[in-house]
Structure 1
């Protein structure tokens, strides 16, 4: 992108609505409650013929630096310093407040181009607030309606005038495109015996999930080496999914920080429901999901629900036991964690579990290596010849049970998809095959082909008898 724009203003003036309008997607959570946005959220914006990078920010308030509002303000100030131009949004419907005047003075001191945006100008009685905005000393306000898309042409002209045509239409040297990775890849491979090698250069999408206050944002900040995400002792600081990017050993990583997931029965507020829905979307869009446990109170019931959801969604999962620096008797606790992981998560047998500390950075390289190793397994393809030799061996050692006096024959097996691995078995009576035998086959696949810790899908297809339904005609 040729330049960067930061959207700032006091709470509830419509910054996130404008952000969603400019990026063309509902990326940021929007609600009538003031202070929904807390972290900086970047996005790629399009406004007529303009292309630029945009940053949504938290509402600016005057507060003590150590408070949550004070830390939110610091994140917003970092966004202003990073941006080339600032969109200062005021509420024309409600009029100006002393906070608007304070923010205007702060922006003037920074000396960067500012476009004053009078949002909600479509509302009845907004003229007074619009004309009051002249008193901020930031030039002529641009009247818009972010919700209805009115005034976007005027906003485009104001941005070009503030930053200059040469900078506004500057071309990037390299055009980058963000290609969404499909959820379930069905590999179109002509040779069934072909086993493709893992591509360790492709970008990797990772979602970090867990209960509130497990240390997800702190962990990601330690990966980045900077305080990119808002953190603190308060539970539930993160509200919407924020993506960050960096390189790990030459590989591009895109990681999503998500809101903490409480038990469904405890979620009563509309805003928290929106936050959890955003977390679920991040999980479905990711390839690998890091489930963060609080090592001081691991394996709460909600932790198990989160792991089960990730596995059912077919994502590659890795467990991160955070706050390891707070554990004193580490050997005893580690043995206990291993035992509980095997016993409480049978649906993810062999799942990788790493002890880490977001505060000290201990274990982060081991966690990233576990993520890559799990992603390799999640993308693994096994040749049909190997699978059928394996199936013969399995059925000879433990044949399917007879149902109603009739044997069930498993005739043929092939892998029909990866991400996660999915297999099709041609079976004489698939409806009669018990679930226990499917579990037996899945456990065998995990052990014999190294598919530990990832979901495995087995589909059955009945063999077709070409003479079924035809009468025996004699000449």
Structure 2
């Protein structure tokens, strides 16, 4: 697929154009400059054109080791990888020395460039539009990313630069074999096997500075995410795709989650909301704990949030390379995991180091195994055989002298495993007995480490609502 990158100094509207092209608010947008820090790819559509669009951090002149310098390095990587550069300027504000400096950089580094003059709808923008010719990047395309004006002209400029043929999909071969359709007998309940080839969606979450972006860079084997000693570098939830042992994995890097009372700034609120959206989209969520200060109150709150959302959790005790007495620390981590996180018994926890790569393979094995359990289904026959045994061993409580009668149990969905119990008195079963059944399900059917949901319902009376016959 054609790759197009949006480049420009901070606050010229790059993320606004990115959101318009992908058709949804994926990138954070704020009046504050420098909101975008990492490269964010997305699938774009512009009239009849489909391509990959990459949002980038604003270009700034800064020392290489500074945060702004590292952001610039990420943008330069995007320039090198793209087929076309959209160099964006703000014609409302007019040209700045930064625009002139980086126009020179883009002219040398990129073979194909389209000059995009944003905010052209503003009063007084004509002067800035005329000045744009002095950049030496060809005729500027006047657009309004916020209002969607000039998109047709932008499409024509992209086609002129790249040609229309690169956007056309190749025709399928006429002699392609048609896959046979297998019709299975649906009279018996069949439990499908876990598909180890299906793509997996994973998110990395945790407190600020727990090493989430460093972990993802280690997965990918490149400096894809911006990292550094500063807390809160990541703001957008960036998704990247990679392959682990032949399996496609889409992983989301997210902003650090702090306690709600400490989240004051509008931009940080947007970052947290973006992280929560990524969490709900993911299947498996890796919670990165800083092993030097694990089990802070916020760590426990994050795990609880993931369980309530029904995601499949895996703990990653990061920065393991900083630990000296590993045996003692490991025993302490195991004891605290079991004691402080009882709501997900059997939760898989792995010690890793994003810095050195230690434990990364073990972490991915734990992710795949947890994903398999999260997708588990138990047949109704096995469930009710088990239910008969456990209720005989420990009958439901009697309330007001009346025994609660459990009729049957069935699994209504997976992801997470969700069960429905038919009982004569749903309101009288009690939370403690429901926990007893939940723990029993974990042990009997190997559902350790994932959320389990149990619903209660009263069986329907087939004669309810019917009038009594007169004799």
The TM tier, using the shorter chain, reads over 0.9
1:452 correspondence with 2:448:
yes
**CA 410–111 in structure 1, closer or farther in 2 if over 3 Å, else same:** closer
Do the aligned partners of 1:413 and 1:424 also contact (CA within 8 Å) in 2? Answer: yes
From 240, 255, 266, the equivalent of 1:270 is: 266
Deviation at 1:44, TM superposition (A): 1.2
Aligned residues: 461
Q: Which residue of 2 aligns with 1:16?
A: 15
CA distance in 2 between partners of 1:428 and 1:315 (Å): 31
TM-score (normalizing by structure 2): 0.95
Structure 1: stretches of 5+ with no match in the other structure: 175-188
Distance 2:110 2:233 in 1: 31
Q: Secondary structure at the match of 1:369?
A: helix
Task: Indicate yes or no: 2:223 matched with 1:224.
Answer: no
Cα offsets for 1:342-389 (capped at 9, x unmatched): 000011111000000000000011000000000111000001111001
Q: Which of 401, 406, 421 is 1:405 aligned to?
A: 401
RMSD, aligned CA: 1.7
More displaced stretch, 459-468 vs 242-251:
459-468
Change (3 A) 1:436 1:111: closer
Higher mean alpha-carbon deviation, 189-198 vs 328-337, is at 189-198
Which residues in structure 2 correspond to 1:150-229 (within 5 Å)?
A: 150-167=149-166, 169-171=167-169, 190=186, 193-229=189-225
Task: Report matched runs for 1:383-402 at 5 Å.
Answer: 383-402=379-398
* Consecutive aligned runs of 4 or more in structure 1 exceeding 3 Å deviation: 189-193, 465-475
CA contact (8 A) 1:193 1:385 kept: no
Match of 1:430 in 2: 426
Distance 1:436 1:190, change over 3 A: farther
Query: Please, which runs of 5 or more residues in structure 2 have no aligned partner?
Result: 173-184
The 3 A distance-change label for structure 1 pair 213 and 20 is: same
Q: Does 1:121 align with 2:112?
A: no
**Contact 2:13–2:118 under 8 Å retained in 1:** yes
In the alignment, the residues of structure 1 paired with residue 468 and residue 334 of structure 2 have an alpha-carbon distance, to the nearest angstrom, of: 62
Shift of 1:474: 7.9
Q: Report whether the alignment pairs 1:312 with 2:308.
A: yes
| CA distance in 1 between partners of 2:404 and 2:17 (Å) | 61
Conserved 8 A contact 2:5-2:79: yes
Contact kept in structure 1, 2:424 and 2:459, CA below 8 Å? yes
Aligned-residue offset at 1:163: 2.1
Q: Cα gap change, 1:172/1:281 in structure 2, threshold over 3 Å: closer, same or farther? A: farther
Pair 1:4 & 2:3 matched: yes
Q: Partner residue of 1:28?
A: 27
**Deviation of 1:171 (Å):** 2.7
Superimposed CA distance per residue, residues 121-173 of structure 1 (whole angstroms, 9 cap, x where no aligned partner): 00011111111111111111110000000000111111111223343x34358
> Where does residue 137 of structure 1 map in the other structure?
136
